[in-house]
Amino acid sequence: MKSAPTPAMTAPRENPWEMALRQFNGAADHLPLKRGIRDFLVLPHRELTVNFPVQMDDGGVRIFTGYRVHHSTVLGPTKGGIRYATEVDLDEVRALAMWMTWKCALMHLPYGGAKGGVAVDPRDLSRAELEHLTRRYTTEISVVIGPQRDIPAPDVGTNDQIMAWIMDTYSMHAGHSVPAVVTGKPVSIGGSAGRREATGRGVMIAAREAAAHAGTTLRDARVVVQGFGNVGSVSAYLLHDQGARIVGLSDIYGAIQNPDGIDPRAALRHAQQHGRLEGFPGAEAINNSQLLELPCDMLVPAAIEGQITRANAARIKAKIVVEGANGPTTPDADEILNERGVLIVPDILANAGGVIVSYFEWVQDLSSLFWSEGEINERLEPIMVKAFRGVVRLAKEREVDLRTAALIYAVRRVADALMTRGIYP
């Protein structure tokens, strides 16, 4: 779990919602959309803000603010993670919800986009306080979530245990078990085999496809991964398994590098034991800004938004950026990297493995029939590969970068569905 600002994060960060709007406009300009339809596609469908009390261990009561935003319900029930981090605010949740709409559309999943979050550093809370906060937040947003309505999942600062508390709280209110209300749960209560690794596995597949597209392979590719939580750690060890050399890693506390390569599984054991990468033997400590600028072939940002900006884009050495995180590259940085010929595999394509396997989990819960990890991975692979190649094809046709192509594809799908459904009443 993460949170608390590092020095690198204290610089004023770009508003994620404004970033998401600029990206949308860049794609929507390529489509023949009427004004009203364009506005309906971009504005969040509904937004819930909740201020709620939590009983703390010291006997006091603290008020927390949480959100749940449904960006679009055109393609189906909404889907999207829940984030616990100090910086969570309505604009961030809106942006993350909009990116979920496009990601699900791009992957042909029967979902609209949503996101939720609570402004809290989970590391400041005891386990009991975290459970109280989660159960109360779930109760507050229970008016908008449900297995046919909106299905949360883990994101930054949340994990399978938190999903278990959400599932249990919702089930207690319903009077019966409702496993399909969240995904990313422990396997023992209806979670899916392969879900924990799914986002990182998808990142690895996208990275492999990107390397092939650029006329190279992952073998001996020098890779830097920013963020060492669920997405970053799994991406790092699966890329390592493909023959890549992990030359830099980071978490919120700092970064480490070794041009000869870092064993990501050993780094993970160290991080699990010590709560951070710092002090990992056989690597040199550097800071997070230095990490992003290390000489490498591929950079996988897998932490939070707004990390590659106008300020550092010119100094990024990677030839390929695979966005494990949502929104790590600002639109200004996109322009700079594109001009420099850096290939960017956009978030809605690169990190979609998580929501794809979340979809499999939901289908398994609804049908009470469970698949093996092998079956999950076999079904994930072709969806990622097909989407990657489709985006590359569209990018060539339209003479645009991969992000714009992915967004054109996704926005067009949602617009077509909207026109087919019609405007109610």
**Interface with ligand NAD by CB under 6 A: which residues?**
1-2, 6, 8-9, 154-157, 199, 226-232, 250-252, 288, 302-304, 324-326, 351, 354
- CB nearest ligand NAD: which residue? 229
Would you call 280 exposed, middle or buried from its count of C-beta atoms within 10 A (0-12, 13-18, 19+)? Answer: buried
SS3 category, 82: strand
| Beta carbon nearer to ligand NAD, 74 or 303 | 303
Q: How far is the CB of 398 from ligand NAD (least distance, A)?
A: 26
Sheet containing 61-70: give its strands across: 46-55, 61-70, 112-119, 78-85, 150-154
Cα 227 to Cα 290: distance, rounded to the nearest angstrom = 14
Q: Are 271 and 292 in contact (CB under 8 A)?
A: no
Q: Are 9 and 305 in contact (CB under 8 A)?
A: no
* Close Cβ partners of 277 (under 8 Å, ≥ 6 residues apart): 228, 249, 250, 251, 253, 254, 255, 256, 267, 270, 271
Q: How far is the CB of 52 from ligand NAD (least distance, A)?
A: 22
| Beta carbon nearer to ligand NAD, 153 or 415 | 153
Q: How far is the CB of 235 from ligand NAD (least distance, A)?
A: 9
**103 is known as an active-site residue:** no
Tally the residues of the chain. Answer: 425
Q: How far is the CB of 250 from ligand NAD (least distance, A)?
A: 5
Q: How far is the CB of 247 from ligand NAD (least distance, A)?
A: 16
| Beta carbon nearer to ligand NAD, 201 or 208 | 201
Backbone angles phi, psi at 51, to 5 degrees: -110, 120
Both structure tokens of 359 = 């979809």
Q: How far is the CB of 31 from ligand NAD (least distance, A)?
A: 25
Cα 192 to Cα 371: distance, rounded to the nearest angstrom = 8
| Beta carbon nearer to ligand NAD, 23 or 250 | 250
- Catalytic residue (choose from 79, 103, 115, 319): 115
Cα 128-129-131 angle, rounded to 5 deg: 65
Cα 346-158-151 angle, rounded to 5 deg: 75
* Look-up of token digits 């569905």: 417
For 156, the enclosing helix (H) or strand (E) is: none
Q: Which are the catalytic amino acids?
A: 115
